[in-house]
Amino acid sequence: MKARTGMTLCAAAAIAVALAPVSARAELTEVGIAQQYGISYLPLMYMEHEKLLEKYAKQEGLGDLKVKWAQFAGGNVMNDALLSGNLQFASGGVGPLVTLWAKTRGNLDVRGVCAMNSMPLDLNTRDPNVKTIKDFTGKDKIALPAVKVSIQAVTLQMAAAKAFGEKDYDKLDRLTVSMKHPDGMAALLSPASEITAHFTSPPFQYQELDHPGIHTVLNSYEVLGGPATFNVIWTTEKFRKANPKIYAAFLKAFGAAIDEINKDKPAAAAHYIEWAKYKGPKDLPLKVLDDPQVKFTMTPQNTIKYADFMYQVGSIKVKPASWKDLFFPEVHALPGS
């Protein structure tokens, strides 16, 4: 009888734990963070190599938080990892965030944590006959991080809608190929490759333009009508609600990383060369950081324009009322758009 009573008590205790309010449970002891390729992810590189999240997690009273880092080629694969629970913080372009925000409303409620930067994105080509996107033909192949969903893919659709009419916004999609940035650059620069154009990001677009015969067909700031957010961080409301101290520590760590970059750009450029195992011209990373069009900031810029377009063409089924719908409240006081 005593043994049975003990088993009953253990079962009752297990049920009580399972039904306990989320706020009463301990926060995660391990989190996964993912990034992609290029100097635009420099704040996350700072966080990883200087262990900033671990530092601020301790300040929040969380002890030794384990942080696992992963690198993905595009936001679509990253979103799968986030939805499966194998990842807590995803990063990438505005397009993948908007897609997941629309799909998860009312369940996982994915939203942006903050912006990471504002940067112009260039569509470069080696074809001298291509002066505008209207000049692309069936023989062209355009490399970008993820077909249809990456920020480059959505920007190309926005440009196509202006050039060919809204009903033909996806006219160039058939020419696009999913490739991570380093591979896309290598393919563009190889005369034997079928890739004739590359919609990329810093520093790859700068490196490409240093090669004879490479020229820019399209710039994202032209499409958006001004500076616009390139990369953002996103997570689920479920994770944010269950782990408020980790979430707070992440924001502090990310803000500290951006402050370090903006405070000492030569040092930041040197870190990028080391951490990314960068093999290009040694002066290029600092050139990128000193570009007045490049800004590391947590403030979203022109993100709502992407969401409005995606809703207009049917890529998403719900329209955000403002940029604040796309981001969690912690950044709503920033002068975003």
140 shares its domain with 94: no
Q: Does residue 207 sit in the same domain as residue 60?
A: no
The answer to whether position 147 is within a domain reads: yes
- pLDDT tens-digit map of 214-239: 999 999 999 999 999 999 999 999 99
Q: Are residues 192 and 253 in the same domain?
A: no
Q: Does residue 11 surpass a pLDDT of 70?
A: no
pLDDT at 95 over 80: yes
In a domain, 216, yes or no: yes
- Give the domain range for residue 188: 122-224
Say if residue 5's pLDDT is above 50.
no
What pLDDT is stored for residue 1 in this prediction?
A: 45
Minimum mean pLDDT range among 23-32, 78-87, 121-130, 179-188: 23-32
Report if residue 109 sits inside a domain. Answer: yes
pTM, rounded to two decimals: 0.86
Report the pLDDT averaged over residues 14-43: 73
Q: pLDDT tier at 18 (50, 70, 90 boundaries)?
A: very low
25: pLDDT confidence band, cut at 50, 70 and 90? low
- Residue 297 and residue 206 in one domain: no
Question: What are 122-144's pLDDT values in tens digits?
Answer: 999 999 999 999 999 999 999 99
Q: Is residue 76 very low, low, confident or very high in pLDDT (cuts 50, 70, 90)?
A: low
- Provide the pLDDT for residue 225: 95
Strands 215-219 and 231-236: unpaired
Q: Are residues 199 and 277 in the same domain?
A: no
The CA-atom distances, in angstroms, between 234 and each of 9, 132, 299, 309 are 41, 33, 14, 20
pLDDT at 23 over 60: no
What's the mean pLDDT in 304-315? 96
> Is residue 11 a part of any domain in this protein?
no
pLDDT in tens, 163-204: 999 999 999 999 999 999 999 999 999 999 999 999 999 999
Residue where a domain stops, chosen among 191, 224, 257: 224
Q: Are 75 and 40 in contact (CB under 8 A)?
A: no
Give the mean model confidence (pLDDT) for residues 270-293.
Answer: 95
Position 74 scores a pLDDT of: 65
164 and 293 co-located in one domain: no
* Low-confidence winner among 20-34, 50-64, 323-337 (lowest mean pLDDT): 20-34
Into how many domains does the chain fold? 2
Please name every residue paired with 237 in a beta bridge, in sequence order, or none if there are none: none
Strand arrangement of the beta sheet that strand 231-236 belongs to: 90-93, 231-236, 110-115
> For residue 258, what pLDDT is reported?
98
pLDDT of residue 75: 63
pLDDT at res. 196: 98
- The answer to whether residue 168 is domain-embedded is yes
- Which residue would you say has higher pLDDT here, 14 or 298? 298
Domain end point (choices 224, 247, 269): 224
Same-domain check for residues 113 and 160: no
Q: Residues of the chain with pLDDT > 90: what percent?
A: 83
Contact status, residue 235 vs residue 31, Cβ threshold 8 Å: no
Separation of alpha carbons 324 and 101, rounded Å: 12
Q: Which domain-ending residue is among 197, 224, 251?
A: 224
Q: How confident is the model at residue 330 (pLDDT cuts 50, 70, 90)?
A: very high
Q: What is the mean pLDDT of residues 84-93?
A: 92
Burial class (CB within 10 angstroms; exposed 0-12, middle 13-18, buried 19+) of 112? buried
CATH code of residue 295: 3.40.190.10
* Residues 242, 109 share a domain: yes
Q: Could you tell me if 212 and 257 lie in one domain?
A: no
**Residue 48: burial class (beta carbons within 10 Å; 0-12, 13-18, 19+):** middle
Q: What confidence score (pLDDT) does residue 13 get?
A: 40
Residue 247 shares a structural domain with residue 326: yes
Using the predicted structure, report yes or no on whether residue 7 has a pLDDT greater than 80.
Answer: no
**Has residue 12 got a pLDDT over 60?**
no
Instruction: Give the mean model confidence (pLDDT) for residues 246-262.
Output: 98
